[in-house]
Amino acid sequence: MAALAVLYDIHGNQAALEAVLADARSAGAGEFMLGGDYALFGPFPAETVAMIDELPDARLIRGNVDRWSAHPEQAPEDQLIRDAIAACREALGDAAVVKLDGLPEQLVIGDTLYCHASPISDMRSFLPQPSPEDDQLLAGVTERRVVFGHTHLQFRRRREDGIELVNPGSVGMPLDGDPRAAYALVNDDGSIEQRRAGYDNEAAATATLERFGEIDWARRTADRLLHARL
């Protein structure tokens, strides 16, 4: 069997996605699991979604920004976010916006639960260090591994009850200080490997500003692509 590449939080960063797909395939990946947040905030939303559509037998779930793009009224009342949503909707077109919104919220593959932020929310998530909120976020979970994204922080930890929490990190917009695209690889034996793939993040930052102009959300995206920090 081929390894499973797990990609989260691509955010319209086509170059980062290309780098991850190349690295994953060279490492033996033949299947793909994508964890949401596909287009919003990036320089090439439509092109990125088109690449995702071409992945054979890829399994996808929905992220919070995929929901926001279809339902702007559900997004925070923040003009930066609202402006980014408007630009993304225009770039994607109605059909793609609706398609992404219609994806399932979570999937179970073997003994692993894949969700966007946590099993109970596409916004509330886990942090690298244990939190008192973890038990609530995992209520009712019976799988031995939970894979999630949302925070753009690549980490893994095992709880005392044996549940392994894995964040593959963000393909398109890491926020852990390392601008390389982040993802994970699930090997044939079930072991998981966290990986990084370098790409021209400076060019991606420049492309965001060139395409959408010197507006607040584009400047924030460019800064995050350059520095991998909030």
Helices 14-26, 45-53: inter-axial angle, 10-degree rounding = 30
Please state whether beta strands 181-186 and 164-167 pair in parallel, antiparallel, or not at all (unpaired): unpaired
Could you tell me which residues are beta bridge partners of residue 118?
A: 121
Specify the CATH number for the domain of residue 90. 3.60.21.10
**pLDDT, position 57:** 84
Q: Is the per-residue pLDDT at 1 higher than 80?
A: no
Domain count across the chain: 1
**pLDDT, position 112:** 98
Q: Which residue has the tokens 């499973």?
A: 4
What is the number of other CB atoms lying within 10 angstroms of the CB of residue 121?
15
**Does the predicted model carry a pTM greater than 0.95?**
yes
Which structure tokens are listed for 224?
């995050």
Would you give the DSSP letter of residue 4?
E
pLDDT tens figures, 8-25:
999 999 999 999 999 999
pLDDT tens figures, 33-50:
999 999 999 999 999 999
Residue 2: pLDDT band by 50, 70, 90 thresholds?
A: confident
pLDDT tens figures, 55-73:
998 999 999 999 999 999 9
The per-residue pLDDT of the chain, averaged, comes to: 97
Please state whether beta strands 164-167 and 145-147 pair in parallel, antiparallel, or not at all (unpaired): parallel
Q: Is the per-residue pLDDT at 160 higher than 90?
A: yes
The residues, ordered by sequence, that sit 6+ positions from 70 with a Cβ below 8 Å of its Cβ are 97, 98, 100, 101
The residues, ordered by sequence, that sit 6+ positions from 93 with a Cβ below 8 Å of its Cβ are 46
| Mean pLDDT for the stretch of residues 204-230 | 98
Domain containing residue 146: 3-227
